[in-house]
Amino acid sequence: MSESPYVIEVTADNFQAVILEGSMVQPVLVDFWAEWCQPCKTLMPMLAKLADEYQGAFLLAKINTEEQQELAGQFQIRSIPACKLFVNGQMVDEFTGALPEEQIRAFLDKHISHESDNIAEQAQQLLQQGDADAAADLIAQALEENPANSRAIIALAQLKASIGESDAAQQALDSLPEDEQKKPEVAAMRAQIVFDEVTVDAPPLEELEKIVAADAGASKARYQLAAQLVMHNQLEAALDQLMILLQKDRDYGEDAARKAMIRVFDILGEHPVAAKYRSRMFGLLH
């Protein structure tokens, strides 16, 4: 039996207190195992090590299925090792088999808050306030504590984008786990970075508006105008300009207007404006 304060043997007698009530305070990972199970003997020390490393961010509850057959039956355990994660008295996730440590960390980190999360959140708030230097210090602190912290990596990408280092921002986003890269906020960030690159050497918004008003065929200026409108958070106006460009000069920039509209949709997410212009775009293209 482990001497760790973060690892507890669970029986029918303490199940309620440790798992159901305990998970109201902190996540509880329940490991169903047996002495005869070789994969269990591989997984168990890894889980115990992580429980100690996470220092109480989660509790590891061990249930011997041979001795606690009623509990094993209650949870319909058919194969072991089987792990179930409880939060606020409810099972929220599970996995079976002796997964590699990296996958178990990713499993836990979906549900467990780290101090590095709080630090990264503070850094993002500082970035919104325009204090890049203070944000950079906090991001470095968060990544030192947990180099794989997705929130800290996203904050790093935001920092790099804010100071014009778009390549470094994209590299930071590329380092995220695959499931994190699929999140809408990451796609939105990638889109913002692209529009930011377009506006770096572009004329001011007011000048671009005069150019396209005087020359409806000024494709480059219209594309830059759309990018400037995105950076000014005028997303519907940006989509209007991109629709015009798509109609007048679809081949500009190797289909740049269509690609830019998709990026604006990424920024908008499920907003009704995105649905409206997506329908218009498809109608024009087909």
Q: Burial, 129: exposed, middle or buried (Cβ in 10 Å; 0-12, 13-18, 19+)? A: exposed
- Among the listed residues 7, 18, 28, 40, the single catalytic one is 40
**7 and 62 Cβ atoms separated by less than 8 Å:** yes
From the CB of residue 83, how many other CB atoms can be counted at a distance below 10 Å?
A: 23
Query: What span, in angstroms and rounded, lies between the C-alpha atoms of 68 and 62?
Result: 10
Residue 40 annotated in active site: yes
Query: What span, in angstroms and rounded, lies between the C-alpha atoms of 53 and 203?
Result: 52
**Cis amide linkage into residue 39, ω under 30° from 0:** no
Where do we find the tokens 């467990």?
Answer: 112
> For every residue of 230-253, which 3-state class applies, written as one string?
HHCCCHHHHHHHHHHHHHHCCCCC
According to DSSP, the residues that pair with 238 across neighbouring strands are none
Classify the C-alpha dihedral 71-75-79-82 as positive or negative: negative
> Of the candidates 170, 169, 156, 164, which has an alpha carbon nearest to the alpha carbon of residue 127?
156
Question: Which pair of tokens denotes residue 34?
Answer: 């047996």
**30 and 61 Cβ atoms separated by less than 8 Å:** yes
Residue 83 annotated in active site: no
- Among the listed residues 19, 29, 30, 37, the single catalytic one is 37
Q: Burial, 140: exposed, middle or buried (Cβ in 10 Å; 0-12, 13-18, 19+)? A: middle
According to DSSP, the residues that pair with 94 across neighbouring strands are 84
Residues serving a catalytic function are: 37, 40
